[in-house]
Amino acid sequence: MGFAFETRALLRLAIPLTLIQIAEGMVNFVDTLMMGWLGTSTLAAGGLGAVIFWTLLSLFTGLLEMTGALAAEAYGAGDHQQVSIINAQALWLSLGVSVPTMVMFWHLDTVLYFFGQETQVVVQTMAYLRAIMWGLPAALGLFVFKEITTALMQPRLLTLLMVVSIPVNIVLNYSLMYGLWRLPELGLAGIGWSSAIVFWMNFGITAVCLTQLPTLRRWQLFRYWRQLKVPVLREIIHLGWPLCVDYGTEFGALTAAALLMGIWGTDLLAAHRIVMTTTELLLMFSWGMSYAAAMRTAHRIGEGRPDIAKQAMDISMIMNLGLVVILAIPLWFLPEQITGFYIDTALAENQSTIQAAVSIFKVGVIFQIFQGIRLMSLGTLQGLRDTHLLATVDFLAHWAIGIGLGYLLGQGLNWQGVGLWWSLVLGQVTAAVILTIRVQYLLRRRIEGLPDTL
């Protein structure tokens, strides 16, 4: 099994997984785009609400993230029963974290006021959050299905479903925003309800397919759904909580960045949302490659082949880096044109937002490149079951450097948005270097048959 074989195997996973990530990113992109149709202030409020929701969603996907790696290792070892058990325990865990989080969403307005957000922004943000929160259990359940089907080398079902859901989301957004076909006119809240409906639609369709499609039915993935397997549940939580903290640290820092932007002005918050949404969409390619690297690493470790696991990591890193650099080119050369997708660049009232977005896009290019490198190392570490260092590294990168230094540059030196973004870049560089060194160190020790050490 040489370089060509491993490249093909990696691409068989990476392409559908990347399409899934792009589809998810497109939903977020479309939502932000349509928020802009309702005005700059609505875009700012909706952007803040979206950051909060996706931050908490990402926090719990971190807790569930090792579901895929554990299932992939069981798959590599030929243990079909264990795959079914892992699926059931992960679904129960996803439900268990959803309910208290939904209660918290409902009462989040007090926190927003505490952080100095304008009343108009808080009212609209809460309308969005109190709608989209009803889709949280389905969103987490769907994430579990994605992890399991990917571990079984069957990601095409969710790829097709996520792509089809994009036009459905657009139609629902428009209908609920403006009250078409006798539906209520809900404005920004309509976008939240649309997302919740699509989450449940995708979850229901996937659950049916897992029990009916021949290639997936034979795994009997719901065979143990009535049974609580404490050792398996404990292992998912034990390996997942560092990722939960890690993702919470990362996306919590992005929420803090949005709150800082809101303090500095609605126009700056809108510009921040435009740049962040665009870079997040392009980073979906890196997320897809990262998931593929995690699964291939876990497969090879399960087979007892760490040397091939290292080869998979090297291939994925090279492919991803080249792609990230290519995708960064339009951000550097066409920032104003990209901003024009979100807001009307001809309106005088939008000029402040446009100028801020153009300045931040230049910094966003560097942010995207190093974020892509960090994601690849993150995926390989998941495949190696080495997750406990991640939270410490990302706290240093995102909070101590990203937000801490960002506040000093933005507030102390009055660089505001650009200063904050430069600090976020420095944080990504720090995390990318540390995690890449960690990956190479662990793989070398696995190949030499030595135990892992800190």
- SS3 label, residue 207: helix
* Cβ-proximal residues to 431 (8 Å cutoff; 6+ apart), any chain: 370, 374, 393, 394, 396, 397, 398
pLDDT, residue 250, reads 78
How much is the average pLDDT of 199-223? 87
pLDDT, residue 454, reads 57
pLDDT beyond 80 at 101: yes
Supply the Cα-derived Rg of the chain in whole angstroms.
21
Q: Is residue 42 a contact partner of residue 177, using CB atoms and an 8 Å limit?
A: no
CA distances for 335 relative to 68, 128, 340, angstroms: 37, 28, 9
Strands (E), 125-236: none
Q: Which two tokens stand for residue 372?
A: 């892509």
DSSP 150-178: HHTT-THHHHHHHHHHHHHHHHHHHHHHH
Using the structure block, give the residue that is written with the tokens 């499609």.
Answer: 213
DSSP single-letter state for residue 366? H
pLDDT, residue 137, reads 96
Q: Is residue 274 a contact partner of residue 357, using CB atoms and an 8 Å limit?
A: yes
Alpha carbon distance 54, 57 (integer Å): 5
**Number of neighbours of residue 233 by Cβ within 10 angstroms:** 18
pTM for this entry: 0.73
Listed range (42-51, 201-210, 312-321) with the worst mean pLDDT: 312-321
Alpha carbon distance 182, 180 (integer Å): 6
CA distances for 337 relative to 27, 47, 128, 187, 274, angstroms: 20, 20, 28, 26, 12
pLDDT, residue 150, reads 82
Alpha carbon distance 13, 282 (integer Å): 18
Confidence of residue 369 (pLDDT cuts 50, 70, 90): very high
Q: Is residue 86 a contact partner of residue 67, using CB atoms and an 8 Å limit?
A: yes
Q: Smallest Cα–Cα separation from 331: which of 261, 272, 282? A: 282
Q: Which two tokens stand for residue 345?
A: 């660049």
pLDDT, residue 118, reads 83
Q: Smallest Cα–Cα separation from 202: which of 250, 135, 255? A: 135
* Highest mean pLDDT: which range of 135-144, 153-162, 344-353, 386-395: 135-144
Tens of pLDDT, residues 250-283 = 777 877 888 888 888 888 888 888 888 888 888 8
Listed range (122-131, 365-374, 391-400) with the worst mean pLDDT: 391-400
Alpha carbon distance 389, 249 (integer Å): 13
Alpha carbon distance 272, 265 (integer Å): 11
Q: Which amino acid is at 450?
A: L
Q: Is residue 74 a contact partner of residue 302, using CB atoms and an 8 Å limit?
A: yes
Alpha carbon distance 33, 12 (integer Å): 32
pLDDT, residue 237, reads 92
pLDDT beyond 90 at 174: yes
**Number of neighbours of residue 231 by Cβ within 10 angstroms:** 9
Alpha carbon distance 423, 406 (integer Å): 5
Listed range (84-88, 112-116, 208-212, 383-387) with the worst mean pLDDT: 383-387
**Largest Cα span, the chain:** 67
pLDDT beyond 70 at 2: no
Tens of pLDDT, residues 126-147 = 999 999 999 999 999 999 998 8
Q: Smallest Cα–Cα separation from 298: which of 2, 36, 43, 70? A: 70
Q: How many CA atoms lie within 13 A of 343 on its CB side?
A: 30
Alpha carbon distance 261, 115 (integer Å): 11
How much is the average pLDDT of 216-230? 81
DSSP single-letter state for residue 305? -
* Cβ-proximal residues to 436 (8 Å cutoff; 6+ apart), any chain: 373, 377
Confidence of residue 318 (pLDDT cuts 50, 70, 90): confident
pLDDT, residue 291, reads 76
Q: Smallest Cα–Cα separation from 270: which of 430, 36, 83? A: 36
Alpha carbon distance 353, 97 (integer Å): 37
Q: Is residue 233 a contact partner of residue 88, using CB atoms and an 8 Å limit?
A: no
Q: Which amino acid is at 340?
A: G
Alpha carbon distance 136, 131 (integer Å): 10
